[in-house]
Amino acid sequence: MNPAESSASLNLAFLSGGVCAQLQTAQIFNPSPAREAVLRFARQHSASDERRCHAMLDLLATAGVLAAILRRELAKKELTEAGFKVLAVLFESDPTPVIPSCLAEHAEMWRPSTSDVLSRLEISGLITRERDKTDRRLVRIHLTPIGREKYLSAVGHGLAVVIALMEQLSDPQANGLAEICQKLGKGVEDFTGRIVPIRDDEPRAAT
């Protein structure tokens, strides 16, 4: 088995269990023009560069599929990824309320987007917002009992999905994957000087 086939087999091992059985035959590593162009240029450098580039592109493609699966499963619990992040912050702080600026920071979201998410969660009865009694400029956000129940249900469901996605990896393989991710993260930190959280709602530059 060549390195490319080995890499594909490793990544496809994630796609197990009933939650994503339909994706086992999907073209995860679709030979798009952009992908093939990058690999072609890498091939001109060296075989090693091509293998490393191939592995990174496979990792990105697999991560995208896994993220899409988790977002879809959250939707079954009537939550968006942003809504889940907000509930997670409130749950960890509960029963202490959180002000919007702190919530946005800990959820790694932009303030305008956070406001929109809070409005939807409030309409659904998952949170409440109230003015501070001593400083009317401050708004304090509380997790409601319904919100707590919704969050715990989503966490339990999400954990089951993660276990299903990872069930065909042995413990050594899972540990090896974690070590690889840590090394890549350290490489990003060395390359950029610091790891900057990527916000899903961050405005993208025009292309």
Q: Where in the sequence is the domain holding 22, given as residue range(s)?
A: 1-76
Q: What is the pLDDT of residue 15?
A: 35
pLDDT at 54: 84
pLDDT at 119 over 90: yes
Could you give phi then psi for residue 128, rounded to 5 degrees?
-130, 150
* 145 plus 94 within the same structural domain: yes
The CB-based long-range contact list for 171-180 (8 Å cut-off, 24+ gap) reads 173/10, 173/13
On whether residue 131 sits in a domain, the answer given is yes
Residues pairing with 142 in the sheet: 128
- Looking at residue 107, its amino acid is A
Number of domains in the chain: 2
HSE of 91, CA atoms in CB hemisphere, 13 A: 19
In a domain, 207, yes or no: no
Query: Does the pLDDT at position 149 exceed 60?
Result: yes
Final residue of a domain: which of 112, 134, 155? 155
Yes or no: say if 80 and 118 are a contact pair by the CB < 8 Å rule.
Answer: no
Among 74, 45, 44, 60, which Cα is nearest to 7's? 60
Q: Report if residue 15 sits inside a domain.
A: yes
Asked, for residue 202, whether it belongs to a domain, the answer is no
**Both 111 and 46 in a single domain?**
no
Residue 161 lies in a domain: no
Report which residue type is found at 85. Answer: K
User: Residue range 53-71: average pLDDT?
Assistant: 87
**pLDDT over threshold 80, residue 46:** yes
Residues 62 and 97 in one domain: no
In this structure, how many other beta carbons lie within 10 angstroms of the beta carbon of residue 117? 23
Assign 51 a pLDDT band (cuts: 50, 70, 90).
confident
Q: Which of 6-15, 27-36, 111-120, 148-157 is modeled with the greatest confidence?
A: 148-157
Which of the listed residues 35, 51, 76 is the one where a domain comes to its end?
76
Structural domain contains residue 167: no
Are residues 149 and 128 both part of a single domain? yes
**Across 15-24, 41-50, 57-66, 134-143, least confident range:** 15-24
Q: Is the distance from CB of 117 to CB of 86 less than 8 angstroms?
A: yes
Q: Determine, yes or no, domain membership for 136.
A: yes
85 and 72 within one domain = no
Q: Is 32 left (phi over 0), alpha (psi -120 to 50) or beta?
A: beta
Residue 198 covered by a domain: no
* Banded model confidence at residue 150, pLDDT cuts 50, 70, 90: very high
pLDDT at 21: 47
How much is the pTM? 0.70
Q: Does residue 27 register a pLDDT over 80?
A: no
Tell me, yes or no, whether 48 and 115 share the same domain. Answer: no
Tell me the pLDDT tens digit for each residue of 71-93.
Answer: 999 999 999 999 999 999 999 99
